[in-house]
């Protein structure tokens, strides 16, 4: 269960405090209009497929652990999130079930009967759709830059705070989809996930969400 | 009385030989530890089985020449750091870790496992590398237990055990790739339904 929560927290985009306004961004004082816009945009998303690059940065060790993969989302709440390099690890969400495939072994969990997986399910999908705004589990600050919006989120839940200090979600101004996500655990320890080669609203076959 | 003295001398001699059977010609020529000294980092994908439970994650083993330490960082596939343990001056300390991993019993198991893998032979008191013989096992007492290292060729460790009393408490088996890097690591524990498998996913040399 605790490991499961770790999984949740990583995707949770939970946040800590922003000590200062990020350079190149200005605070959006009233984000309610923007939130409406985000919700409207998220409602039009039928599918997304994208590659991603994940960089785990441990500054105090002068180390970056890079991994790559791809994800596919379809608006029937199906999601495939796959790491391909340098290791293989797969998460698939479909039909209310959560599948994890690790080194050939598949584990299956029922999302509804498991609150942690329900939370993880919701968070992954909200990230994929760019609809993280309005999530009551987090305190949110919105910043506007030249080309993107920056959402800074703080977890309200004490347990979440224990895991993640601060995160930022960068949303493309035009598509309102996530360009990159930074999950900060400390000043010197954070994970950045950048999305590349994204395709929107293209048909995705059922087979993509098969665990194979 | 002289028989007793003779018996004692034979026993002491046997103990001495037993403690000093093993590798290198000298510490400078032999390995400073199982992973050697010519690496910057190893990244492993790890699978941990405890009773019926299965967990997975990544383990980064990173040398920091600046302070002579080796860090072992346990993290999730998504990058979340769960535990950072530092090995320096022959001691393990927790640099940071999530609360649920700060259980002293769990840390003791982890430290025992990773001592087998990471401990610096040159830090073991009384271990004279001049006595090591190529191809033979290395056996010594340290930290209240007995360590035995077996080599496949040269001074490349293929198996190691840590024991207290007669039976091994922890057994570590290694497989190497063509470049002789430690590719797979398996930890087994006596009396504890815990299995740890580590598979190398990335190696960074100096």
Cis peptide before B71 (omega within 30 of 0): no
Q: What is the mean pLDDT of each run of 10 residues along chain B (206 residues)?
A: 46 37 41 83 92 85 93 92 94 90 88 93 81 79 91 85 85 93 94 91 92
CB contact under 8 A, B73 and A58: yes
CB contact under 8 A, B54 and A107: yes
CB contact under 8 A, A89 and B56: yes
Highest-scoring range by mean pLDDT, A120-129, A154-163, B10-19, B21-30? A154-163
Which chain A residues are Cβ-neighbours of B54 within 8 angstroms? Answer: 105, 107
Q: pLDDT tens across A54-76, in order?
A: 999 999 899 999 999 999 999 88
The predicted model gives A150-164 an average pLDDT of: 81
- Report how many domains make up chain A: 1
pLDDT recorded at residue B29: 45
Q: Is the ipTM of this complex over 0.85?
A: no
CATH number of the domain to which A121 belongs: 2.50.20.10
Which residues form the domain of A176? Answer: 2-7+14-204
Tokens of A152: 């800074």
pLDDT recorded at residue B46: 94
Which residues form the domain of B201? Answer: 2-205
State yes or no: pLDDT of A12 exceeds 60: no
Task: Render B11-79 in DSSP notation, one character per residue.
Answer: HHHHHHHHHH-S--SSTTTS-SSTT-SSEEEEEEEEEEEETTEEEEEEEEEEEETTTTEEEEEEE-TT-
Q: Which residues pair with B88 in a beta bridge?
A: B91
State yes or no: pLDDT of A103 exceeds 80: no
Q: CA nearest B56 in A: which residue?
A: A102
CATH number of the domain to which B154 belongs: 2.50.20
Q: CA nearest A100 in B: which residue?
A: B56
* Residues shown for chain A: 212
The predicted model gives A108-136 an average pLDDT of: 69
State yes or no: pLDDT of A3 exceeds 50: no
Handedness of CA B108, B114, B116, B121 (dihedral sign): negative
Q: Which residues pair with A9 in a beta bridge?
A: none
State the pTM of this model: 0.82
Please report whether residue A184 resides in a domain. Answer: yes
Please report whether residue A210 resides in a domain. Answer: no
Dihedral over alpha carbons A60, A66, A72, A73 (to 10 degrees) = 0
CB contact under 8 A, A105 and B99: no
Which chain B residues are Cβ-neighbours of A86 within 8 angstroms? Answer: 43, 201-202
Please report whether residue A46 resides in a domain. Answer: yes
Average pLDDT, chain A: 82
pLDDT recorded at residue A7: 43
Which chain A residues are Cβ-neighbours of B64 within 8 angstroms? Answer: 61
- Report how many domains make up chain B: 1
Please report whether residue A114 resides in a domain. Answer: yes
Question: What is the distance in angstroms between the Cα of B80 and the nearest Cα belonging to chain A?
Answer: 6
pLDDT recorded at residue B182: 94
Question: What is the distance in angstroms between the Cα of B38 and the nearest Cα belonging to chain A?
Answer: 17
Please report whether residue A212 resides in a domain. Answer: no
Cα separation, B56 vs B54, in Å, equals: 7
């Amino acid at each position: 269960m605790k490991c499961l929560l770790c999984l949740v927290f990583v995707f949770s985009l939970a946040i800590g405090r922003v000590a200062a306004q990020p350079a190149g961004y200005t605070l959006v004082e009233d984000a309610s209009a923007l939130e409406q816009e985000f919700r409207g945009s998220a409602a039009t998303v039928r599918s997304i497929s994208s590659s991603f690059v994940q960089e785990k940065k441990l500054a105090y060790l002068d180390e970056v652990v890079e991994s790559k993969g791809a994800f596919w989302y379809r608006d029937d709440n199906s999601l495939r999130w796959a790491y391909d390099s340098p290791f293989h690890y797969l998460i698939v969400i479909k039909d209310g079930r959560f599948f994890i495939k690790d080194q050939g072994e598949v584990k299956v969990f029922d999302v509804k009967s498991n609150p942690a997986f329900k939370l993880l399910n919701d968070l992954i999908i909200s990230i994929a759709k760019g609809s993280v705004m309005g999530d009551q589990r987090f305190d949110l600050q919105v910043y506007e830059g030249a080309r993107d919006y920056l959402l800074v989120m703080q977890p309200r839940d004490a347990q979440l705070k224990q895991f993640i200090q601060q995160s930022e979600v960068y949303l493309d101004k035009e598509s309102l989809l996530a360009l990159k996500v930074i999950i900060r655990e400390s000043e010197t320890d954070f994970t950045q996930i950048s999305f590349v080669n994204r395709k929107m609203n293209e048909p995705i076959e059922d087979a993509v969400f098969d665990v194979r | 009385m002289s028989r007793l003295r003779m018996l004692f001398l034979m026993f002491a001699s046997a103990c001495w030989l037993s403690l000093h059977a093993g590798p290198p010609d000298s510490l400078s020529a032999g390995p400073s530890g199982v992973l050697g000294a010519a690496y910057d980092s190893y990244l492993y994908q790890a699978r941990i089985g405890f009773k019926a439970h299965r967990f997975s994650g990544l383990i980064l083993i990173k040398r920091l020449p600046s302070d002579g330490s080796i860090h072992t960082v346990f993290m999730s596939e998504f990058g979340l750091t769960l535990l950072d343990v530092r090995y320096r001056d022959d001691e393990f300390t927790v640099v940071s870790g999530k609360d649920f991993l700060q259980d002293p019993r769990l840390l003791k198991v982890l430290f025992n496992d990773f001592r087998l893998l990471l401990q610096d032979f040159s830090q073991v008191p009384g271990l004279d590398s001049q006595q090591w013989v190529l191809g033979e096992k290395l056996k010594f007492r340290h930290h209240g237990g007995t360590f035995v290292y077996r080599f496949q060729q040269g001074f490349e460790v293929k198996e190691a055990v840590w024991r207290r009393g007669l039976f091994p408490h922890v057994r570590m088996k290694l497989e190497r790739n063509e470049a002789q890097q430690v590719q797979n690591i398996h930890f087994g524990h006596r009396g504890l339904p815990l299995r740890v498998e580590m598979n190398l996913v990335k190696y960074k040399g100096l």
